[in-house]
């Protein structure tokens, strides 16, 4: 819980408003997550010290982590700007850290009927997420009048 709060405080509550003032909404929502992604590249040092993986494998995993933390950072920035509250990205970040990245490669190991059901659930979940993203984060639901003019 400490890391999600600290990271969201630094990147969303502190950095994002400064970038908004300097760059505007569209640029800030894409640049701030890049800093968030770069902040996670330090894991490469830990992996290289362990010597359990090849250098290429470590860098491929790090690049993958950079990509998904950057995408998550954009989502987190969106949540913060839409709701106007830091608690939204903190809870989302905590949940994502607890759950981890989905192991899509494990799906076939469950056998045909379960693998199909799991795959359908992933697709339905993704569609529901995309469909409900804007309505469930409407600034009106959260009494957000701080960033509402910037997001319209």
Q: Rounded CA gap, 93 and 107, in Å?
A: 24
What are the Cα distances from residue 94, in Å, to 3, 23, 25? 8, 28, 25
Q: Which of 40, 42, 53, 103 is catalytic?
A: 40
Which residue's structure tokens are 């804007």?
A: 134
Q: Rounded CA gap, 109 and 10, in Å?
A: 40
40 flagged as catalytic = yes
Q: What is the 3-state secondary structure (H, E, C) of 19-64?
A: HHHHHCHHHHHHHHHHHHHHCCCCHHHHHHHHCCCCHHHHHHHHHH
Q: Rounded CA gap, 139 and 25, in Å?
A: 15
Q: How far is CA 43 from the centre of its chain?
A: 17
| Catalytic sites, residue numbers | 7, 40
């Amino acid at each position: 819980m400490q890391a999600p709060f600290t990271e969201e405080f630094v990147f969303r509550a502190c950095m994002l408003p400064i970038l908004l003032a300097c760059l505007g909404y569209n640029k800030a929502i894409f640049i701030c997550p890049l800093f968030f992604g770069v902040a996670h590249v330090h894991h490469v040092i830990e992996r290289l010290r362990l010597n359990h993986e090849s250098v290429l494998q470590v860098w491929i995993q790090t690049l993958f982590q950079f990509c998904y933390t950057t995408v998550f950072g954009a989502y987190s920035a969106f949540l913060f700007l839409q709701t106007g509250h830091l608690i939204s990205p903190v809870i989302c970040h905590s949940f994502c850290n607890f759950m981890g990245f989905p192991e899509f490669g494990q799906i076939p190991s469950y056998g045909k009927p379960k693998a199909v059901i799991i795959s359908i659930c992933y697709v339905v979940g993704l569609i529901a997420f995309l469909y409900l993203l804007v309505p469930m984060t409407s600034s009106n639901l959260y009494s957000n009048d701080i960033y509402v003019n910037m997001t319209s």
